[in-house]
Homo-oligomer: A and B are copies of this chain.
Amino acid sequence: MGEIAVEIRSGAYYDSAFLMQLQGFLADQPGVQDVGVVMGTDANKEVLAQSGLLVPEAEAAMADDLVIVIKGETRQAAELALSRVDELIASRRSKRSEQDYLPKTVEAAAEMLPEAGWVLVSVAGRYAAGVARKALALGKHVFLYSDNVSLEDEVSLKQEAAEKGLLVMGPDCGTAIINGVGLGFANKVRRGDIGMVAASGTGLQQVSVRIHQMGGGLTHAIGTGGRDVKDAVGAITFRQGLDLLARDPQTRVIVLVAKPPSRSVAEQIVQQARRISKPVVIDFIGYATALRQVENLYFATTFDEAARLAVERSKEAVDFQPPDTSRFAAGQKYLRGLFSGGTLAYESLLILSNYLPGVYSNIPLSEEYRLQDSLVSQENTLIDLGEDEFTVGRLHPMMDNDLRVRRIAKEAADPETAVILLDVVLGYGAHEDPASDLAPAIAAAKKAAAQEGRYLEVVAVVAGTDEDPQDMRAQIKALEKAGARVETSNDRAAHYVGRLLKALADGSQADGLPGKAVNPETLNKPLAAINVGLESFTDSLKAQGAQVIHVDWRPPARGNEKLASILERMRRK
């Protein structure tokens, strides 16, 4: 039941914090049952309707009208409450004037605090791009909390920033942590050696919080706004942030968080991350990958996993330098894989596909890489010698090494062969002493290559247990004595060979990042900022010990959109 009083104030601008304050103030008035204080957008009108507050006057309001609806026990109570609105507005003004002098523009604030490197913008969306543009013109990085900013504005702001070596985090960027100081919504997280880039405010918060709970800590966490990783924006800020953390000496581990970007943007980010010699944990939430780890990249599927992987990495010393290729002769560049185990071969192909453009095989990952002739290698080649084609009237290659012994000699004679990779499967049923065949073949192959001035790398995966009938240790010893590099894990062997061949193939390490690189010094000096918008952000920066100037910003023409656009047109002329 209850009686409703309503007031519409046209063309007036109040920030959201004040509206919430006003709503609370009115709800506390005697005899008041419910209150709605909103701008007259369709969405807000629907919210009023849900609470039974959408009276006809409110329904008629425009998007930039302030709508105040009060439900009182009596009409009198509702109207009495309504009459106190101006009182609150006045008390707020007087409170402000008690404070120190506040500049009215970003420019004035910048003069008062020249060391400010950052401008935080949280004014209503329609004004936000303009404020951000002023900040860039002053050479400041921008933390753009505001949402409801157009895509065109986002792209042009970010392009301008990139050209100047500046960051625009946002629009709709909820969170960042720079040098220990949280901007927007941010948790108090331990300092450490993990840096983050996130196109997701709460993703950044949740991962950073879990890192803290797991005992790790952060250098910096750079927000980008969710739309940054869309094709239209092309991850401009995301890639700048990644580049910045790659060059930041305090950051040893990097975590990337985003809702799944498009394939092309994801690829671009992944390729950039791969060129960094630091571990990079990637959590594109729900982005499925065929491998969990490739070189320095660790793919997480949830926030918890991303945090755990980052904390684990920050505790270990990992070297992601490419392997030494100096022993190889010019022209040596290809892999020749000679497998007896079909699925070992298949897993190797899968892992190698993350390092090499393609590997020819009789069991290829895609048909375009099917070997024309299984007996003749092409470029990078990996063969399953246990396939049906080889085993008609012939024992499986786990028992009969004849084919492999012949093939090892042949591949070693090819001046383009850099690495021979083979599996040696032990156990019941297999050859009782495979090394007795393979070790001499390996030694002869390496010798033949050496006589022609080449270095031949032979990698052997020994698959067996210490209880197998063949004596695994003796097998490993014999193979090592012949000059093979022995691994007991197929994964490790394939990753090693992939890294080696990639290093042999790599010429260009070009980065292709557009614009001017952001100076990492930016991050590591004490944070000083100008705040335009929500006063609570100023309070929170102060509480964190940062230097901050609050701008007493008012919209052009006091929020009257028509008048503002006339003024804007006049100024441009």
Contacts and interface: CB of A to CB of B under 8 A. Distances in A.
Interface of A: 16-17, 19-20, 23, 38-39, 41, 43-44, 46-47, 50-51, 63, 66, 124-125, 147-148, 172, 174-175, 182, 184-190, 200-203, 205-206, 209-210, 212-213, 226, 257, 259, 285-292, 301-305, 340-344, 346-347, 350-351, 373-375, 386, 388-396, 398-400, 402-403, 406, 410, 423, 425-430, 463-465, 467-469, 488-492, 536-537, 540, 543-544
Contacts of A47: 375, 390, 403
Contacts of A543: 428, 469
Contact of A292 (B226, B290, B301): B301
Nearest to A23: B402
Nearest to A489: B304
Contacts of A38: 393-394
A136 to B, nearest CB: 23
Nearest to A401: B20
A427 B302 contact: no
Contacts of A213: 465, 488
A486 to B, nearest CB: 14
B285 A288 contact: no
Contact of A393 (B19, B200, B291, B304): B19
A481 to B, nearest CB: 22
A462 to B, nearest CB: 9
Given A124-B393, A147-B391, A200-B346, 11 more contacts: A16-B391, A19-B394, A39-B392, A41-B393, A125-B388, A148-B391, A185-B398, A200-B343, A201-B342, A290-B301, A305-B491
Contacts of A392: 39, 41, 43-44, 63, 124-125, 148
A170 to B, nearest CB: 13
28 contacts: A19-B394, A20-B399, A20-B402, A43-B374, A43-B389, A44-B394, A47-B390, A124-B392, A174-B396, A185-B396, A187-B468, A188-B465, A188-B468, A202-B425, A205-B341, A206-B344, A206-B463, A209-B427, A209-B465, A209-B488, A226-B342, A257-B343, A259-B343, A285-B346, A286-B290, A292-B301, A292-B302, A304-B489
Nearest to A258: B343
Contacts of A23: 402
Contact of A465 (B125, B189, B394): B189
Given A50-B406, A465-B189, A302 B429 contact: no
Contacts of A347: 203, 206, 285-286, 302-303
B20 A427 contact: no
Given A292-B301, A347-B302, A148 B388 contact: yes
Given A185-B427, A188-B465, A429-B182, A344 B202 contact: yes
A375 B186 contact: no
Contacts of A402: 20, 23
Given A47-B375, A423-B202, A490-B206, A259 B346 contact: yes
